[in-house]
Amino acid sequence: MSGCEARDAKKLVRSPSGLRMVPEHRSARSPFGLDEPPWVPDKECPRCMQCDTKFDFITRKHHCRRCGKCFCDKCCSKKVPLPRMCFVDPVRQCAECALISQKESEFYDKQLKVLMNGATFFVTLGTSEKSELMVCRLSNNQRYLVLDGDSHYEIEIIQISTVQILTEGFTPGEKDTYAYTSLLESQHIPEGGNSRAIGMILQYKVPGSEELTQMKFTASEDFSCNKKLSASWLAAMHKATKLLYESRDQ
Ligand SMILES: [Zn+2]
Ligand SMILES: [Zn+2]
């Protein structure tokens, strides 16, 4: 079995925040993962960091599992799934973090599956004139983009340095293609807006080489039934890019 599809061994670990199911080796962790934050020490937070209520025997303090800050029960009551930190069960989070985690659930529930199911693109490598029709998908362990056609490529997600999503306006006649996201900056495609993702340019490092390789993905015009699928795959990839940016930035 190739490295990209290996089912990495996992182990159950208990942290003060709860039970987590993590890969045996850190190198096998998801590129979308986040580390647990350090908890603000008890003695540094006499009051709730949201509503300023003083802690005592009746008003107990709780730590938000996502940001590690200290809150009263009222301000930190929601238990929300936090797959990016590998928690098995939903964990206690402050209101602000709960909102972010809830938005991320959409990525985990829907868009991650779209990425893993794959979509068809014309793929052009480097400055080549030729393009090849390939199915592109995210590997099950979330660590590789796998491309299958006459050729086969596996691009490790952590080697990707730039993701540009190419979009096109819906307005008839408006054929200008322009790029949104570059260098993993978290600008976003306006959701439900009048633009549609039609392609992607990746730059990545091939292990052992210092130079960046560029790969261009174009949604196929000939396979009209697949065009919608390609557009949702690209939108999911756009969201994934934002998560990657956060994971690297932590
Ligand atoms: Zn409070
Ligand atoms: Zn928080």
Sign of CA dihedral 87, 92, 96, 101: positive
pLDDT of residue 26: 80
Detail the DSSP E strand segments found in the chain.
10-15, 18-23, 62-63, 70-71, 78-80, 91-93, 119-125, 132-138, 144-148, 152-156, 160-169, 177-179, 195-205, 212-219
pLDDT of residue 167: 80
pLDDT of residue 180: 39
Distance of alpha carbon 151 from the chain centroid = 26
Please, what are the domains in the chain? 9-109 (3.30.40.10), 118-249 (2.30.29.160)
Ligand 1 geometric centre to CA of 160 (Å): 41
**Rounded Cα gap, residues 146 and 242, in angstroms:** 20
Nearest ligand by distance to the CA of 64? 2
Q: How confident is the chain (250 residues) per 10-residue block, as mean pLDDT?
A: 67 90 87 93 93 92 95 95 95 96 92 95 90 94 94 93 79 42 41 70 88 90 71 91 84
4 close to 137: Cβ distance less than 8 angstroms: no
Query: Dihedral angle at the C-alpha atoms of 129, 135, 140, 143, nearest 10 degrees?
Result: 10
Ligand 1 geometric centre to CA of 63 (Å): 11
pLDDT of residue 181: 38
Q: Can you tell me whether residue 155 is helix, strand or coil?
A: strand
- 37, burial (CB in 10 Å: exposed 0-12, middle 13-18, buried 19+): middle
Ligand 1 geometric centre to CA of 68 (Å): 14
Ligand 1 geometric centre to CA of 69 (Å): 11
Ligand 1 geometric centre to CA of 35 (Å): 25
pLDDT of residue 6: 62
Nearest ligand by distance to the CA of 74? 1
pLDDT of residue 116: 97
Nearest ligand by distance to the CA of 50? 1
Ligand 1 geometric centre to CA of 57 (Å): 15
Nearest ligand by distance to the CA of 66? 2
206 close to 233: Cβ distance less than 8 angstroms: no
pLDDT of residue 176: 42
Ligand 1 geometric centre to CA of 53 (Å): 6
Ligand 2 geometric centre to CA of 68 (Å): 6
Q: What residues contact residue 203 under an 8 Å CB cut-off, 6+ apart?
A: 160, 161, 162, 212, 213, 214, 215
pLDDT of residue 24: 87
